[in-house]
Amino acid sequence: MTTQHLLFELGSEELPPKNLLKLSNALTDGITSGLNEAELDFSSVKSYATPRRLAVFIENLQGAQVDKTVQKRGVAVKAAFQEDGTPSKAALAFAQSCGVEFDQLERLKTDKGEWLACTQTIAGQTTQHIIPDIIRKSIANLPIAKRMRWGSFATEFVRPVHWAILLYGEEIIETEILGLQTGNQTRGHRFHAPQAITIAKPENYTEILLAQGKVIADFDVRKNQIRVDAEKAASAVNGIAHIEEDLLEEIAALNEFPVPITGHFDERFLALPAEVLITTMQENQKYFPVKNADGSLRPYFITFSNIESTRSASIQDGNERVVTPRLSDAEFFWKQDRRYSLAYFAERLKTIVFQQDLGTVAQKVQRIRTLAKHIAQLINADVELADKAAFLAKNDLMTEMVGEFGNLQGIMGRYYALADGENLIVAQAIEEHYLPKQAGGAIPESDIGCIVALADKIDTITGIFNVGLIPTGDKDPYALRRAALGVLRILIENKLDLNLRELIDVSSEQTHGKPARVLFEGSERLKAAISVENFIMERLKGYCLDKGFTADEFEAVLAVNPTEPLDFMQRLQAVKAFRQLPEAESLAATNKRILNILKKSDSPAETVGKLVESVEIELLELAQKSAADIQPLLEKRDYQATLNRLAELKQPVDAFFDGVMVNCEDLELRANRLALLNLLSQQFLTCADISKLQA
C-alpha cells in the first residue's frame, strides 16, 4: 500500500509560553492515538512548536485503511423460521440490517448451536477522508483551561488562529479547522518574513521555514541553540551562564529566531544575596545570570531577542535600563528588612491566618516548636537549636523581600538569621525546613533542618485532617500529598529511626482548633490520627513502587503494621531478597496454608504440649531453636538474616504436612499441632507476612 508524509500546522497569535510544550505534546498524542484507532500505520511522528504555531509531521502514513472482512451473527436458526417454514420477522430484520436478501445469509455452527450469519467486506476509508476529524477531535481535547473567541467567529481556541496547513504528500486535504480553510501556506517570522510561504512537500517544512521564514520550528533544536549561544555569550565576558531548565524552555517558547544579547548591571548590586539577583533576573526579566567559576555572580546577564537587529546595542541598552530599577527595588527591600532582626517579624505572624479552624501562622509556629523539641529529644539532637530554628522558620514570610519574591521563603530567612548573628545551624535549618520543594527534590541535610521540616509537615497534615479537609481526587489545596512524601523521604533517606504514629499523636495533641466540620464520629482525634497514618502509608506505597519494589512485597510488610518508615524499608528490602531464595515460593504457599488453618480454628494455645509423630516432634525442636536464633537478629533489625534463618525450616515443615493430619480426631493433639503452627507463623510474622507474596 502506498504511503505519503503528512503535515498539519496551525498558525496563531503568540501562544502561552509556559503551556506551549504541553499543548504541542497533547496535539501530537491526540493525532497519534486517532491514527492508531483508525488502524493507519506510519513510521514516525514529530511535533514542532513555536510561539506562533503548532505542527505535527507524520512520516510514511498509510494511504487508506485495509479492507476488513467481518462476520455478523444473527438469530438462532431454530428461531429463524415460522411454523410454515417461511423466515421469521427477526430473521428478515437481520438480513435487512446486513443489506442482503434472506437467502444470501449463511449458517454458523458453534458448540452452542447454529446461527444465521452474514460475512461482508468493509472497504477501508482513505487517509484524506479520516484525518480531518482526527485533527478536529485532537484540538477539541487540548488541555486549555480557558478558551477564547475572537471577531465574529464562533470557534474557540487558546489564541486567535490565522492559518492552517494540511498536506498529504503534495496534495492539500481541503477541510475546515477552527473556521479556517486548510491550504499549503504558512507564515514566517512576524518581523523578518511576515509574507505567505508555500510548503510544497511535508518533508521540506523545517528547511523552508528557516530559509525563507527565519523560524526554527523544532522546539528542541531552538532550545539547544539558546543554551549554546548563552554559554558562548557568558564565556565572552569570562563567565558561566546560569541556566535553569524551566527558564530555558520558557525562552525557547518566547522566540522563533532567538538572538543572544549580553547586558551589564551596576556592580553595587552584587552586595545583595545571589538568590535575590538570580530571582529578579530570571522571573522578572527572563535573563540568564552569569557566574564565576566559584559560583559567585558577575555583573552580567544574557537575554534573547526574537529579532536579528542591526542595532543590537540599542536592545542591550534598553534591557540594562529596565533591569536597573528591578535590582534597585530588591536592594530597597533588603535594606528595609535589615532594619529589624528576624525575630522581630514573629509578632506579625499573628496577623496571618494559616487555616480558619487551626488559627494563625504564629499558632502553627508554636505547634511546630513543641513537636520539634520532642523530635530533637528522640534523636538526641540539640533541643535549644531545634526550638530556635522552629521559632524563626516562618518569620521571613513577613519581610518585604519574600512578599515580593515568594520563592525566596526560607532562603531569605537564612540570610537574615546570619546577618543577626544566629547560629549557622539554625540559619541552615530555616532554609531546609521547606525541603523537598518538589518530587525528587533535595531533602534537608542537617539534623535540625530535618527536625523542623518534619514538625512543619506533620503539623500541616495532622491539622488539616483534624478539621476534615482530606484531599479528594486531584484537589489538594494544602499540598498534603507532597508533605507526606516529604516526611517519608526525610525519615527514610536520612535514616531517622522515628515512630510515625507517635509523631502524629504528639502533633494531634497540639492542634488548637475545635473543628466544627470534623468528618469523624466518636474519638475524633484518634480517628483523624489513624486517617493521617493511612494517608501517609498510601504515599509510602507509591514511593516503594517507584523504587522497584512490587505491590505484593509492600503488602507483605504492611500486614505486620510497622510504624517506623525506616524500619518498614529495612523489612521490605529483606522480603525482596528473601523471595530470590529457592525456598521462598514454597514457604510463602506454606505460610498461607498455615494462616488459613489458624483462621478456621479457635485461638491456639501459647505453648505446645505433647506431640506423637516424629516429624512434628522434630519440627517443634527446630522451631524452638530458630526462635532462639532469630531473637538477636531481630534486636539488630537484621531482617534478611532472620528470613534466611527461617528459610531453613522448609524441609521439616514440608515433612510435617506430608506426614501429619492437623485437624485429627484427638482434640488435645489437634490443639498442640495448631499451637505448633502458630509458633511457626509468629516467627515469620516478626518480619513480614510472606504468605502475601505471589508466585
pLDDT at 525 (0 to 100):
60
Dig out the grid coordinates for 106 from the structure: 449463511
Are residue 400 and residue 333 in the same domain, yes or no?
A: no
Burial class (CB in 10 A: 0-12, 13-18, 19+), 33: middle
Q: What is the CATH number of the domain that holds 148?
A: 3.30.70.260
Q: Which of residues 213, 236, 269 is at a domain's end?
A: 213
Q: Mean pLDDT: which of 98-112, 161-175, 646-660, 661-675 is highest? A: 161-175
Are residue 581 and residue 438 in the same domain, yes or no?
A: no
Give residue 466's pLDDT band: very low, low, confident or very high (50, 70, 90).
confident
Q: Which of residues 283, 309, 337 is at a domain's end?
A: 337
C-beta of residue 270 within 8 angstroms of C-beta of residue 299: yes
The tally of domains found in the chain comes to 5
DSSP 6: E
pLDDT greater than 60 at residue 298: yes
Assigned domain for 287 exists: yes
> Percent of the chain at pLDDT above 90?
69
Are residue 78 and residue 175 in the same domain, yes or no?
A: no
Dig out the grid coordinates for 517 from the structure: 466540620
Dig out the grid coordinates for 83 from the structure: 411454523
C-beta of residue 174 within 8 angstroms of C-beta of residue 181: yes
pLDDT at 519 (0 to 100):
39
Are residue 108 and residue 257 in the same domain, yes or no?
A: no
d(CA 348, CA 92): 84
Are residue 526 and residue 415 in the same domain, yes or no?
A: yes
SS3 sequence of 437-492: CCCCCCCCCCHHHHHHHHHHHHHHHHHHHHCCCCCECCECCCCHHHHHHHHHHHHH
Average confidence (pLDDT) over 245-262: 96
Assigned domain for 562 exists: no
Provide the residue type at 177 as one letter.
Answer: I
Q: Which of 524, 518, 570, 525 is nearest to 544 (CA)?
A: 570
Assigned domain for 542 exists: yes
Dig out the grid coordinates for 252 from the structure: 525557547
Assigned domain for 567 exists: no
Q: Which of 240, 239, 206 is nearest to 221 (CA)?
A: 206
- Indicate the pairing of strand 161-168 with strand 3-12: antiparallel
Are residue 500 and residue 626 in the same domain, yes or no?
A: no
pLDDT greater than 60 at residue 568: yes
d(CA 345, CA 432): 19
Q: What is the CATH number of the domain that holds 356?
A: 1.10.3210
If you count DSSP H runs as helices and E runs as strands, how many of each does the chain have, helices first? 25, 18
pLDDT at 606 (0 to 100):
74
Give residue 515's pLDDT band: very low, low, confident or very high (50, 70, 90).
very low
Give residue 526's pLDDT band: very low, low, confident or very high (50, 70, 90).
low
Are residue 51 and residue 180 in the same domain, yes or no?
A: yes
pLDDT at 418 (0 to 100):
97
C-beta of residue 630 within 8 angstroms of C-beta of residue 645: yes
d(CA 469, CA 581): 45
Q: What is the pLDDT of residues 497-511, one digit of tens each?
A: 999 999 998 888 877
Give residue 523's pLDDT band: very low, low, confident or very high (50, 70, 90).
low
pLDDT at 604 (0 to 100):
72
What are the distances in angstroms from CA 319 to CA 210, 256, 307, 373? 27, 19, 14, 50
Are residue 316 and residue 412 in the same domain, yes or no?
A: no
pLDDT greater than 50 at residue 277: yes
C-beta of residue 240 within 8 angstroms of C-beta of residue 296: no
Q: Which of 503, 506, 510 is nearest to 483 (CA)?
A: 503
Are residue 174 and residue 307 in the same domain, yes or no?
A: no
Burial class (CB in 10 A: 0-12, 13-18, 19+), 274: middle
Q: What is the pLDDT of residues 1-47, one digit of tens each?
A: 689 999 999 999 999 999 999 999 999 999 999 999 998 999 999 99
Assigned domain for 564 exists: no
pLDDT greater than 60 at residue 296: yes
Count Cα atoms within 13 angstroms, Cβ side, for 389.
35
Give residue 112's pLDDT band: very low, low, confident or very high (50, 70, 90).
confident
Looking at the chain, how many residues does it have?
A: 695
d(CA 539, CA 536): 5
Q: To the nearest whole number, what is the mean pLDDT of the chain?
A: 91
Sheet holding 171-172, edge to edge: 44-50, 53-62, 3-12, 161-168, 171-172
Q: Which of residues 213, 243, 259 is at a domain's end?
A: 213
- Please report the sign of the dihedral spanned by the C-alpha atoms of residue 237, residue 239, residue 240, residue 241: negative
Lowest mean pLDDT among 295-309, 344-358, 420-434, 470-484: 470-484
Q: Please report the beta strands in 232-375, taking only residues with DSSP state E, as ranges in sequence order.
A: 240-241, 259-264, 288-291, 297-305, 353-355, 359-360
Assigned domain for 384 exists: yes
Count Cα atoms within 13 angstroms, Cβ side, for 377.
6
3-state secondary structure of 71: strand
Phi, psi of 207 (to 5 degrees): -65, -45
pLDDT at 512 (0 to 100):
43
d(CA 555, CA 693): 8
239 vs 673: which has the higher pLDDT: 239
Q: Which of 425, 244, 241, 272 is nearest to 338 (CA)?
A: 272
d(CA 509, CA 506): 5
pLDDT at 42 (0 to 100):
94
pLDDT greater than 50 at residue 522: no
Q: What is the CATH number of the domain that holds 664?
A: 1.10.730
d(CA 579, CA 574): 9
- Domain range for 659 is 574-692
> Percent of the chain at pLDDT above 70?
98
DSSP 283: I
Are residue 168 and residue 268 in the same domain, yes or no?
A: no
pLDDT at 124 (0 to 100):
81
Average confidence (pLDDT) over 290-304: 96
C-beta of residue 589 within 8 angstroms of C-beta of residue 657: no
- Indicate the pairing of strand 176-177 with strand 171-172: unpaired
pLDDT greater than 50 at residue 520: no
pLDDT greater than 60 at residue 309: yes
- Indicate the pairing of strand 3-12 with strand 53-62: antiparallel
d(CA 96, CA 116): 13
Are residue 500 and residue 433 in the same domain, yes or no?
A: yes
Give residue 439's pLDDT band: very low, low, confident or very high (50, 70, 90).
confident
Phi, psi of 606 (to 5 degrees): -75, -25
3-state secondary structure of 290: strand
pLDDT at 530 (0 to 100):
84
Phi, psi of 217 (to 5 degrees): -75, -35
Average confidence (pLDDT) over 246-266: 96
SS3 sequence of 155-221: CCECCCEEEEEEEECCEECCCEECCEECECEEECCCCCCCCEEECCCHHHHHHHHHHHHCCCCCHHH
Are residue 328 and residue 408 in the same domain, yes or no?
A: no
Assigned domain for 563 exists: no
